[in-house]
Structure 1
Amino acid sequence: MSFTLFTSRLTLRPLRPADLPAFLAYRSDPNVARYQGFEPYTEAQAEAFIASQTNQPIPAPPGEWVQIGIARAEDDLLLGDCALHLDGHDPRLAEIGITLSAAFQGQGYAQEALRGLLRFCFETLELHRVIANMDVRNAAAVRLVEQLGLRREGHFRQNGWYKGEWCDEYQYALLGREWAARA
C-alpha cells in the first residue's frame, strides 16, 4: 500500500535513497541528536537506515517502528522524519516521535507534520490512543506536544539512558475521542 499524506506545506512520505544527503545532515548534527535516543549518524549508518525504511509499510507491523519522511511540498526537500509505532500487544495504541533539521525548526513544520500524523492515526487508522515520550529537558518538544493538545500523563524519573547519562522522561497522550471532539 502506498503512503502519502499532505498538509498545507508538507508531504509525509516514505524515506527514499535520494533523501540520504539531507537525512545525514540532520541526523549527524549533535544538536539535533541531543535529546534523541540515537547518537549522531555516520554516512554508513544513515545509508543503512534509509535502506531499511525504503520498503517498510506505513504503518509498520505492530511492534515495529517506521520513520516517515517530512518533505517540503514545493520541492520535496527532506526536512526531517516522524516516527510511528503501533503497540505489539494492542495495535489500537501507538507512539509517535519527530526529528527535524535544525535549519527548519521554529517555523511550524514540526507542528504541521505531527498534526498530519495524528490525523492519520485517528481518522485513517482509527487508533484509540497515541503517546509521545520525551526527555524532560527538551523544552521545544514539550511545547510542541502541548500545543497539539496532548496531555502530560507521566514523569518518569531516570527512565532513559541517553548520551551516557540517565534522564527523566515525560509521557504525553491523546485519545481518539479527544481528537474527534477538537475537529
Structure 2
Amino acid sequence: MKKKHPHLYTVIHLAVAVAFVVFLRNFVLTPVEVIGISMEPTYHESDRLWQSSLIKPQRFDNATFPSPRNGKRIVKRIIGLPGDTVRVENDQLYINDKAYDEPYLDEAKAKLTDGEPYTEDFSLSTIDVGAEKVVPDGHFFVLGDNRRRADDSRYFGFVDQKDIYGVVYFRYYPLNKIGLQ
C-alpha cells in the first residue's frame, strides 16, 4: 500500500499524529492558569499547571472544575468524598471524626499573628449550603488552601463529580516552582 498510494500513507500518519496530540492536549496535558488567591500558599495567581482527566480524583488532590459563580475553571482541594462527614474544630480538620493533618497549610499558619484560627470552625450541618450531614453520592466537598479568603464548598456547596475537569499533577510555571504536585 505504501508504494501504490504514498500520499494516502502520509495522510494516515498525519491523522494518527494529530489524533494523538489532540488526545494528549485534552486528557493528559491540559493547561490551567490559576486565577485568584484562594489556593495560596500552594498556588499563586498566574501559576500554570497541567491537569489530567485520566486521573481519578482522590482525597486531598487539587482538582479543577467550573466555578459555580462565573463558570471559569478554578482549582480547589478535594477534602470530602461521598458519604463523608467533614468539620473543622479549633483549626483541626476532621473527616468521619478522624483528625487529619494538613501540611500544605503549615506555611500560611506559621505567618499568622492575630491569634485567630486559619480555618473557622464549621461542619456540614452548620454551613449554609443545605441540610446535608454527609457529602452526597456523586459529589465532593472542596476547600481552598487560603481558608480565610477562599470561596469554596463552605459557601457554594458540593461539587458534582461529573463537573470535575481533571486533577492537577504538575506545575510548569513559575520555573522556580516547577515539578510534580
TM-score of the superposition, structure 1-length normalised?
Answer: 0.30
Tell me: higher relative CO, structure 1 or 2? Use CA pairs within 8 A at least 6 residues apart: 2
